[in-house]
Structure 1
Amino acid sequence: MRAFARLAALGLLLLAMFEPAASAAERLDEKQRIAVVSAFPPEWVALQADLSDRAEHEINGRKFITGKLAGKDVVLFLSGVSMVNAAMTTQSALDQFVVTSVVFSGIAGGVDPALSIGDVVIADQWGQYLEAVFARKTDSGFEIPAFLPKDKFAGYGMIVPRSVGIARKGGADEETKFWFPSDPALLDAARKVAAKLDLLACASDNSCLAKPPKIVVGGNGVSGQAFVDNAEFRDYVHKTFDAKVLDMESAAVAHVTYSNGVPFLAVRSLSDLAGGGEGANQMATFMALASTNSAHVVKALLAEMP
């Protein structure tokens, strides 16, 4: 009898030990939602202005807000600046909510000379261009170790870009990738938005853009750990990756969504030219305007989505 009592007590102890783990695995919300991710507070605030049925949740100190936006069930959250923050918060959302697709809203630096501050870029694909080898300097130039596979991209001095190994949901083996694709259906919706949506040209302080802003759907975007304000490096990025835009989060989110098998699209409004403009960087002048335009595009995009 005493042995039975001890076993029963042990069973209760084990249940108590495992109960928190089971609770931690439960989702915060069971409704299917589109995740709308912002890098900076301005677009996050702009998106919340039209949100209904609002409810707040918290994961690791980060706020996640559910509700309805443009007729769609959504979960809004800030990624935080940086590739690591963006990857971490996106995976948290995928783990804790039933996410059907991920749309990123944010500002960026333009690297294509054909684009201007205020233009909005929705790229076909995203690459992590600062995943790299810092190469050894030799008499004949910079060389990466012989045991590392060479990628197709030219280096910038000692910085030699390379692809990353990817494990994917449903995949048998790890694959090596540089480009992460945007979802074709979401790109189609973006083209419909681009054909009919007008963007703002002036900020609240009456700082106006030199050219009316436009929405560009297609081309390449790249992301990395550095804020870029260098004309020479900007030129390298444009020529090497045929890139239109660079930022510090989109490719990380594209990587996470690809691994999880979730559709992805990034909407990036140009707040500056990554060092390509005359004089000082203009991000501080046009960040609010770029953020507002990005939020407008995202709301129109949500309305177009099935």
Structure 2
Amino acid sequence: MAKIGVLSAMPVEIESIIQKCGAKPLSTPHFYKVWEGTYGNNTVLFACSGIGKVNAAACAQHLIDAFGVDCIINMGIAGGIAKDLHTLDVVIGNEVFYHDFNPASLLEKYYPFQARFTCDARLAEIARNVCTATPEVECFRMGDIASGDCFVEAGETKALIRELGGVCCEMEGAAIGHVCFLNEVPFLIVRTISDLADETAPITYEEFEQKASVQSNHVVEGILKAI
């Protein structure tokens, strides 16, 4: 039996799976909303952190300290960076990194002595199997995910992230991976593309936000059933 933390930034990214498993809200005064549910023999703690790296890091640490989760899965939406990605494609994280930490070499020079954080191989393999078997997922890929405290729509930012090796971008994953690395807690980032991080991003995001969130929910639900 394991305790699994599932963390998203926005309610739209997590509401569907909470309702589906009948998770119950816990009393967490003056902090993040947390719901508790079960999948098989496992207890699942769902949390909604709010947008951005600090919110996500604090929420991840809270799941570890207050609830003793054995792993954390971060799900939600992302902007597509790789040229072969399309809206509603799923990205399973390989490594996560900050695209707005400059220079990133400072993270390597000082604690924690690395600038990239690697998703758990076992969880990633489960996610690959789930995506393969899930009819709603037409296309998925493994890749490095870039995080930063900005909504990416400028061409130069997109080009920078691509140069750094990122296939998609969002605002929380690297901070969650960073916290999990410090606490030696396995983690996985799963994101569905809601826009292509370009000048059309604001319009595309509005159109696909709900659909992309539901797509991520399908994948994470499959992962929870398989763990």
Q: What TM-score results when the alignment is normalised by the length of structure 1?
A: 0.69
Confirm whether residue 47 of structure 1 aligns to residue 30 of structure 2.
Answer: no
SS state at 1:177 partner = coil
- What is the CA deviation profile of residues 221-274 of structure 1, one whole-angstrom value per residue up to 9, with x for unaligned ones? 110111111123212211x21211111000000000010000000110111111
Structure 1 residue 228 and structure 2 residue 152: aligned?
yes
Structure 1 residues not aligned, in runs of 5+: 1-30, 133-159, 168-173, 201-212
Shift of the alpha carbon at 1:280? 5.5
Structure 1 residue 214 displacement after superposition: 1.3
Does residue 272 of the first structure (1) align with residue 215 of the second (2)?
A: no
Q: Distance in 2 between matches of 1:175 and 1:118?
A: 34
Name 2:105's counterpart in structure 1: 162
SS, match of residue 106 in structure 1: strand
1:91 is the counterpart of 2:61: yes
CA RMSD of aligned residues (A): 2.1
* 1:73 and 2:10 aligned: no
Contact 1:55 1:67 (8 Å CA) reproduced = no
- Deviation readout 1:6-57 (Å, 9 max, x if unpaired): xxxxxxxxxxxxxxxxxxxxxxxxx951000011111221011122463412
The CA distance in 1 between the partners of 2:39 and 2:88, in whole Å, is: 24
Q: How big is the shift at 1:286? A: 0.4
Alpha carbons of structure 1 residues 290 and 53: separation in structure 2 relative to 1, 3 Å: closer
More helix by share: 2
Query: Given the alignment, which residue of 89, 94, 99 partners 1:124?
Result: 94
**Residues 269, 262 of structure 1: CA spacing in aligned structure 2 closer, same or farther, 3 A cutoff?**
same
Which residue is 1:181 aligned to? 118
Structure 2: which 5+ runs fail to align? Answer: none
- Does the CA contact (< 8 Å) of 1:224 and 1:247 recur in 2? yes
Q: Which shifted more, 64-73 or 114-123? A: 64-73
Say if 2:2 and 2:42, in contact at 8 Å, map to a contact too. Answer: no
Alpha carbons of 1:232 and 1:98: their partners in 2 closer, same or farther (altered >3 Å)? same
- SS, match of residue 81 in structure 1: coil
Within 2, Cα distance between the matches of 1:271 and 1:259? 30
- The aligned counterpart of 1:141 is none
CA displacement, residues 259-300 of structure 1 (integer Å, 9 cap, x when unaligned):
0000000110111111165x8641001000000000111001
| Alignment match, 1:241 | 164
1:127 and 1:258 mapped to 2: Cα distance?
12
- The equivalent residue for 1:204 is none
The yes-or-no answer on 1:214 pairing with 2:139 is: yes
Give the number of aligned pairs: 227
Contact 1:120–1:268 (Cα < 8 Å) also in 2: yes
**Structure with bigger gyration radius:** 1
C-alpha distance after superposition, 1:56-96 (max 9, x if no partner):
12153321111114663100010210000000111111110
Match of 1:290 among 200, 212, 223: 212
CA contact (8 A) 2:104 2:115 kept: no
- State the distance in 2 between where 1:199 and 1:70 align: 23
